[in-house]
Structure formats: structure tokens, C-alpha cells
Amino acid sequence: MRSARFRFRGLGLATYSVLALAFLLIPIVYTFIFSFNAALKNNIAWRGFTLRNWTNVCDAPGICDAFAASIIIGIVSTVIATVLGTMIAIALMRYRFRFRSQTSLLLFLPMASPEVVLGAGLAAQFLSLAVNKGFGTIIIAHVMFCISFVVVTVKARVASLDPALEEAGRDLYGSPNAVFWRITFPLLLPGILAAALLSFSLSFDDFIITNFNAGAVTTFPMYIYIAASRGIPAQANVIASAVFILTILVVLITQITAAARARRLARIR
């Protein structure tokens, strides 16, 4: 009786998992399929299969400019937020200074604040300072909310480090710079890369804060929002599908590399 109950629970859990996964994948599958749609003015109804959308992505007016703008903003914001966030995370975990706890609290505010409030507040500040909105204001806004996620991610990595490794480097007469770049930084690198990827995805995907502070600049999410009223062009589905495929490839390569490294370490031990 008990084994039958466990089998029923296992079947129910498996069914729920499959349904949840299917629910999450429906929009992605729809986007991928309609990237091959032979659409004319809109991409709502299926009109036939074609590869023209994949070979002529920039046929839709403004789509490549919007995508390039999102890439540039994402890269610049990620570099700035990752560098500043890593330094802040190390300072918060390794040093004692005044207002340390208050600094940690303030860093969580962008994560806890609604994006509408954050975007409207930044737009009001730029307006009061007579700052022209554009690439610069978008990057400042993205760095502001991305840096919190970088700090949280890198802090977790710093907390997991074994201080004995750095002490061993100092015992071997390593200078502070040598210890950091040869021991601390390589150990922090996985956390830093994870924080950078998270920061880039948040920046590339953001619409609300960007819309408040973009001015005449149009990013890819803003282009999608504007185009949605008349039907998102199939070329937008192509770009979205390509980004998804690239993300999956990066995850697979990372997992395969990590598994191969673990096997090598296991053989050495």
C-alpha cells in the first residue's frame, strides 16, 4: 500500500514537472517557430515557411540599430557594474569601516525598489540637473540597479574562500598585489563571471527603467514594445531565438567544461 502511494506521488510529481516545463517553453517555442514565418506587415498569423527572416535580419527598419544599442549598453554597464560591485563586495566582506552595515542595507534598496519608482526617480534627477537623456543616462541607470546583484553574487563567493590559501601566499613572501592576482582573483573569477552574466542579462532585458531614461535612444526591448501594437516583426523573433540558442550553448559549454575539470581533479586525487 505504501509503495503504491509513493509511486502515485512520484507520477504526480513527474506530471507536474512536465506540465510546468511545457508551460515555460510555450512562449519560446512560439517565438522560434514564428521566426520562420513568411509574414508581410505583421507576424501574428502563420503565412508559410521561409528562411528569409534569418538571412535578412535587418530588413525590419530599426531592429538592428535597437539590438546594437542594447548590446553596447549591456556590455558597458556590465563592465562598470562588475568592477565596482566586485570591489564593494570584497570591502564589505574583508574590511571593517564606519557605516559598513548601512552600506550593505543601501545596496539592497535597488533590488527591493519597484522599477517604476527607480526609473521615475532617476528621470526626475536627470531633469532637475538638465542632463540630456541618451546612452549615458541609460548606462548610469543600468549600473545603478545592476551593481546590487553583482555585490550579492560576489559576496557569496568571497564568503566561501578559504583564508588559509591567501595566508599561505603571504607566508611565501608574496606581495599583496601578487596574492590578490595569483590566488584571490582566480578563486573569485567564477563568481565574478556569474555576476557579469547576470548583470548583462538584466541590462539587456530591462524596459521600464530604460524607457524613463532613454531619450531618443531605442533599445531592443523598447523596439519590441513599440512594435507589439502592430505585430512584432519576424526578424525580432529571429534575434530572440538566436539569443536563446546562444545562451543554451554557453550553459552547455560551461557545464561540460566544469564536468571535465572535475573528472581531471578526481583522477589526480
Asked if 225 and 263 sit in the same domain, the reply is no
Q: How many domains in the chain?
A: 2
Residue 57 grid cell: 535580419
Residues 84 and 107 both lie in one domain: yes
Domain identity same for 121 and 174: yes
* Residue 131, SS3 per DSSP: coil
Asked whether residue 183 falls in the same domain as residue 263, the answer is no
Residue 4 and residue 67 share a domain = no
Asked if 35 and 118 sit in the same domain, the reply is: no
pLDDT confidence bin for 227, thresholds 50/70/90? confident
The pLDDT value recorded for residue 269 is 62
Instruction: Indicate if 76 and 206 belong to the same structural domain.
Output: yes
How many residues belong to the chain?
A: 269
State residue 253's pLDDT score. Answer: 87
Distances (CA, A) of 85 to 16, 73, 212: 39, 17, 24
Distance CA 174, CA 183 (A): 10
On whether the CB atoms of residues 99 and 118 are closer than 8 A, the answer is no
Is the pLDDT confidence value at 141 over 90?
A: yes
In angstroms, the first-to-last Cα distance of the chain is 46
Predicted local confidence at residue 124, as pLDDT? 92
* Residue-level pLDDT at 96: 82
Give the least confident one: 37-41, 75-79, 203-207, 251-255: 37-41
Buried b or exposed e, range 140-161, using 16+ CB within 10 angstroms: bbbbbbbbbbbbbbbbebbeeb
Residue 7 and residue 134 in one domain: no
Classify residue 136 as exposed, middle or buried by CB count within 10 Å of its CB (0-12, 13-18, 19+). middle
User: Do 176 and 97 belong to one domain?
Assistant: yes
| Domain CATH number, residue 148 | 1.10.3720.10
Lowest mean pLDDT among 34-48, 124-138, 213-227, 229-243: 34-48
Question: Are residues 154 and 90 in contact, defined by beta-carbon separation less than 8 angstroms?
Answer: yes
**Is the torsion defined by CA of 33, 36, 41, 47 positive or negative?**
negative
SS3 49: strand
112 in the same domain as 82: yes
The letter for the amino acid at 258 is A
pLDDT at 74: 94
State whether 242 and 169 are in the same domain: no
Q: What is the pLDDT of residues 38-81, one digit of tens each?
A: 877 677 778 888 888 888 888 888 889 999 999 999 999 999 99
Average pLDDT over residues 104-127: 87
Its pTM stands at 0.84
State which residues form the domain around 16.
Answer: 1-58+237-269
Same domain assignment for residues 172 and 83: yes
